[in-house]
Structure 1
């Protein structure tokens, strides 16, 4: 196994070990393409808002709702959310790479895994469960119980670990990515604090009925949208500087020191 010391050599709280990645159109190794930053910030904002919307209109997770049009709409939106989320999260991580230290890197990985898990299980809920609801109601109902914390009537084997695993990735990922954002001081630190706190809310509301636990998604979605909007603004603001430095036809080349 390789030496892991460099990964944990970043300070948890303190000054940057490297300058944050610049959101410019330059080809420098320490720069992030401005279009990627802008579109990534927009994607993170959309993902955060979709996360809130899905929780607000999600039907009850019962056998009767699986074949409804509302179920189809909600799960179509839920499948779109991880796609925007992965793009947005990657852009956010790239923007503060290095400065966020190991909490930022670890949080990015865990949240990305959570989004992939959400996409995989949502695919089953959207395209498979409605087809077998009539022929295998026991399996469908047990599958629906995976993330509610209630045991289903069927033993789903290793799938039973999906609920706890999803919760662990969500909470640890959000907490660490939020702490990394606070440490980096590149994106708004209050948004990083909000993300970290929001990630722990499921523990606080765990005593509530499953349907009411969805309110914990609102602060998380708002935090992600906040970070995405901040990134979009940063990269939008960098555009005039990049454009002014671009060489125009007929103009002299910039001095080497300014390139």
Structure 2
């Protein structure tokens, strides 16, 4: 199989669809984010799945950006870089949650609950160091990047515009409901996941559209025939 730009973009489209579906699926029936959850097998599986989702989403938005790099302009570049940073930090944080926190839960009985509180929008009672700052940067990059990238894709007019609006809207919605209890907060994954799925399908479809052959019988036939001379 030849590796072409079209092949890579189709792979990115599949990654975006998979990321969106996984983002929604991993939140269904999600237990309360506490120490019991973090130290359980279910917690390891869900958090590892979130890491896979973040990597797939990063691949997906890279394809979305490259498909319309000229049309997206400077705003698209900024939105892509900020959102990409958000997904990179998300990958790191959920891998830490899945693999590190369970091993220290029995030793640092105060630290782990504080990290869990910080990751769900709560206020930790103790000091969790620079991790608090990194989590804030992650949230800002994810929310702000989604908004900027969604607006840039909307202005580019290449992919489904309603899906680009949904991507931007999901970032704003997350900010609005960030103070709500954990089960309601997780519902925000639905519009974001749907946006990734729709944009992935739109990217795939845009690559399948073949430009019509020029009309060699029409009035512009002579100009086309001599254009390469």
Q: TM-score w.r.t. structure 1 length? A: 0.77
SS of corresponding position for 1:98: helix
* Alignment pair present for 1:162 and 2:134: yes
Counterpart contact for 1:59–1:70, Cα < 8 Å: no
CA contact (8 A) 1:57 1:74 kept: no
1:63-118 Cα shifts (integer Å, max 9, x gaps): 11222111011012111112211111110000010101122111100110000001
- 2:121–2:179 contact (8 Å) kept in structure 1: no
Do structure 1's residue 202 and structure 2's residue 157 form an aligned pair?
no
Residue aligned with 1:233, SS = helix
Q: Which of 123, 131, 140 matches 1:151? A: 123
Residue correspondence of structure 1 range 137-148 to structure 2 within 5 A: 137-148=109-120
**What whole-Å deviation, never above 9, does each CA across 1:21-52 have from its counterpart, x for those lacking one?**
xxxx99xxxxx711011111110111111111
Give 4+ residue runs of structure 1 displaced > 3 Å after superposition: 255-258
Task: Say whether 1:100 aligns with 2:57.
Answer: no
* Residue aligning to 1:126: 98
Q: Structure 2: how far apart are the matches of 1:236 and 1:223?
A: 20
Question: Which deviates more from structure 2 when the two are superposed, residues 201-210 or residues 44-53?
Answer: 201-210
Question: CA contact under 8 A between 2:17 and 2:196: conserved in structure 1?
Answer: yes
Paired position in structure 2 for 1:171: 143
Q: Secondary structure at the match of 2:69?
A: coil
1:233 to 205, 215, 218: 205
Unaligned 5+ segments in structure 2 are 213-224
What's the counterpart of residue 215 of structure 2?
none
The 1-side partners of 2:32 and 2:24 are apart by 16
* Distance in 1 separating the partners of 2:124 and 2:175: 22
The verdict on how the C-alpha distance between 1:80 and 1:257 changes in structure 2, with shifts beyond 3 A counting, is farther
Q: CA RMSD in A?
A: 2.3
- Residue 211 (structure 1) shift: 2.8
Name the TM-score, length of structure 2 as normaliser: 0.86
Count of residue correspondences: 215
- Alpha-carbon offset, residue 135 of structure 1: 1.6
Residue aligning to 2:219:
none
CA distance in 2, matches of 1:58, 1:112: 25
